[in-house]
Every structure is written in C-alpha cells, then in structure tokens.
Amino acid sequence: MRKRKSLTEFKKGVLAGDRVVLSQAITLVESNLETDSKLAGDLVQELLPYAGNSIRVGITGVPGVGKSTFIESFGKMLVDKGKKVAVLAVDPSSQKTKGSILGDKTRMEKLASDKRAFIRPSPSGSTLGGVSSKTREAMLICEAAGFDVILVETVGVGQSEIAVKGMVDFFLLLMLSGAGDELQGIKKGIMEMADGMLINKADGDNLQPAKKAKATYQNALHLFPLGENNWSPKVLIGSSISGMGLPECWQMIEDFQSKMLGNGFWEKNRAEQRLKWLDDSIQALLGRAFYMHPAIQKKLNEGKKQVLEGDLNPMNLARELTSHFLKK
C-alpha cells in the first residue's frame, strides 16, 4: 500500500509546481473521506500565504456554445503571452450513477500537452451552479503552485450558474448567435451576473449574425443598472478557430482588474467570497454530520417509508429529525 504524503511533502510539492503533487493535493481536498478532511484543511491553511495572486475567471454558457474549445484557444494565447494557466473544468455528474465522464483533457488536447498549462477535470457531484464543491480549494492550490490565470469552466445549466460568480473575479458569459430571438437565448438573471460577454463561433456564415447579436445584447445590457463595482459589461465577438476576439477578451479582463483594483472592489469582492466560503463550509459540514449520525439514519430510514406512501409530511419529518439532531 502506497504511503500517503505528509503535510510537509504536499506543501513542498505544490509550491515547487510539481504537477503530480498538485493533482494529488486537489484529489485530497475533493475527497469525502473523514481521514482526508483534516489533512486537506491543514494543507489549504498552509498554502494561504502563497495564494491570491492570480486572476480568477469563470466561463459559462449553454451546452454547445463551445466552452472547451474557447478555453483551449484562449489558454494557448495566454501561455504564449507568458502566463501560467490552470483550467478547472467541471463535468456534469450523472444523478443516477453519480459518475462523470471527465473528458475535458481530451477536448483540450493541445493545451493539456503544454507544460505552462494545467488542466484539472472534476465532477460536479450534487453541487448546484455547475462547479465542484471544492472548486475554491482547487483554485487556491493552483495559485500557490504559481499559476497566474485560473479559468473555471462550468457545466452550463442556467441561472444556478450564479454560484460561480461567488468564487471568481471575472465572470465571462459565452453566447451563440442565430438561435432565433437573441434575448431568449439565456435568462436575464445570468446576463446581469456577467462582467463580460462574448458571442462565440463568429466565423464563416456566423460572422454577420454574430455582429447583429452583439448589438442586440449590448443594447440589452444598457438597460441594466450598473452594479456595485460600477463596471459596464462589454459584448465582444470571437472565434476559437481563427482566434479573432481573444486578445480583446483578455484586454477586457485586464481593464476590469485595473478598474476594480483602483476603486477597491477587487479585495472587497474577495473578502465577501471568503465569508461565503465559510457559510458554504459550515452548511456542508453540518449536513455531513447530520446524515452520518446513527440515530438520524435510523429515524430517517423509518420515516422515508411513510413519506413514500404519502402518510407523512416531509416537512414535519425534517423538522422532527432536525430537532432530534440538535438535542444530541
């Protein structure tokens, strides 16, 4: 049986940028085993002083918009600019088998083979928002390993994508043109969350429809009031094939960072995200403790039969179980 690395070995490997140790460290924090939880927490604590220096970019959009292809082209452009890029790609988990394909390394073959880039696919599990429950920890570990840009590719499932907004600096929404009424392409809620939009696949016959879509979306965004950060989201058109629009997209992100650092919103936003991380962690730990409690498991199994048969109100059972748990 292989001996598990110590805290010191994990920390040393991550800070040295060792890809194998980096992958193992992310696997550690993603583990649901109680034996791994303490070590994972200690590792994240040790790495905190070395993290926080990257630009965290969330990339979302409906399935089929070309997120993986865009990220590969965008990532290649960034590494050619001298950036070290980490991609945290989240694949949807099956609600039946709980399994996940984790095929992003295959879809981003060129970027995956570049030593200046690191791609980590993770299953979304039951987490809402198209992200892994440990995406925050994975970002922090990648930052400590020296990556300048962290790209978080989400599943793309609609309004629940706002969960991503709560853990990145810049939220990029990819869109398609030519799908009928452009404003019906995605819900208003997700548009309001975006810091920038890019009409993807703007090449060939799609170029003119993309330009039209850009104007439509830009006009729509002007109807939204400015957010707390006083940033007016921009709409670009781009092609992952030709590379058109990718430099402009990076410039938009850099302009955003410069403005947010200047008005103090950058650190304010990250501080609020740390508090949200605390809230989510408390809920996760309480949920785990609740469901693992032997007495709760027994009462829950007994009550489920009554709920299934329609003899017991689920809310009443939940209230009874919660009350019993709090008395313990």
pLDDT tens for residues 63-84? 888 998 999 999 999 999 999 9
In whole angstroms, give the CA distance from residue 310 to residue 293.
25
For residue 128, pLDDT beyond 60: no
Asked if 143 and 52 touch (Cβ cutoff 8 Å), the reply is: yes
Which of the four pLDDT bands, split at 50, 70 and 90, describes residue 2? low
Percent of the chain predicted with pLDDT > 70: 85
Say what the pLDDT of residue 291 is: 92
Burial 191-205 (b: 16+ CB within 10 A, else e): bebbbbbbbbbbbee
In whole angstroms, give the CA distance from residue 246 to residue 262.
24
Instruction: Provide CATH 1.20.5.170 ranges for the chain.
Output: 1-50
Say what the pLDDT of residue 1 is: 53
Identify the CATH number of the domain defined by range 52-262.
Answer: 3.40.50.300
For residue 94, pLDDT beyond 50: no
Chosen CATH of 1-50 out of 3.40.50.720, 1.20.5.170, 3.90.650.10, 3.40.390.10? 1.20.5.170
Amino acid (one-letter) located at 312: L
In whole angstroms, give the CA distance from residue 92 to residue 274.
25
For residue 185, pLDDT beyond 50: no
Instruction: Provide CATH 3.40.50.300 ranges for the chain.
Output: 52-262
**pLDDT tens profile 229-263:** 999 999 999 999 999 999 999 999 999 999 999 99
**pLDDT tens profile 207-218:** 898 999 899 888
For residue 220, pLDDT beyond 60: yes
Nearby residues of 75 by Cβ (< 8 Å), 6 or more positions away? 85, 87, 108, 111, 114, 117, 151
DSSP secondary structure letters along 48-71: GGG---SEEEEEE--TTS-HHHHH
Q: Where are the alpha helices (DSSP H) in the chain?
A: 7-15, 19-30, 34-47, 67-80, 104-107, 109-112, 135-144, 162-165, 188-193, 207-221, 246-263, 265-292, 294-308, 314-327
